[in-house]
Amino acid sequence: MIEIKKLTKQADNKLILRGIDLSIEKGETVAILGPNGAGKSTLLKVLATLIKPSSGLVKINGLDLKKNHLEIKKLFGYLPHSSLLYDHYSPLENLVFFGKLYGVTNAEERAIELVKEVGLSFFLNEPVKNFSRGMIQRIAIARSIVHEPELLLLDEPHTGLDQGAISILNNVILSMKAKGTTTLMVTHDFKQAAEICDRIIIIKNGKLVDDFKLEDRALNLVSEKYQLQVEGVS
Interacting span for Mg ion (CB under 5 A) from 34-42, 97-105, 138-146, 188-196: 34-42
Q: Distances in Å between the alpha carbon of 193 and those of 30, 157, 221?
A: 8, 11, 11
Shortest Å distance, C-beta 227 to ligand ATP: 17
| Shorter beta-carbon distance to Mg ion: residue 39 or 53 | 39
Shortest Å distance, C-beta 154 to ligand ATP: 12
Shortest Å distance, C-beta 222 to ligand ATP: 16
- Strand 151-155 to strand 182-186: parallel, antiparallel, or no bridges (unpaired)? parallel
**Sites of contact with ligand ATP (CB under 6 A):** 11-12, 14, 16, 34, 36-42
Pick the closest to residue 84 from 143, 151, 44, 130 (CA basis): 143
Q: What is the DSSP string of 71-107?
A: HHHHHEEEE-SS----TTS-HHHHHHHHHHHTT-TTH
- Report which residue type is found at 215: E
34 binds, among Mg ion, ligand ATP, none (CB under 5 to 8 A by kind): ligand ATP
For Mg ion, which residue of 41, 54, 61, 68 counts as binding (CB under 5 A)? 41
| Shorter beta-carbon distance to ligand ATP: residue 50 or 101 | 50
**Per CB under 5 A, does 188 bind Mg ion?**
no
Q: What angle do CA 45, 49, 55 make, to 5 degrees?
A: 85
Look at the chain and count its residues: 234
Shortest Å distance, C-beta 175 to ligand ATP: 27
Shortest Å distance, C-beta 224 to Mg ion: 23
Pick the closest to residue 1 from 188, 199, 191 (CA basis): 199
| Shorter beta-carbon distance to Mg ion: residue 16 or 104 | 16
- Which residues of this chain interact with Mg ion, rule CB under 5 A? 41
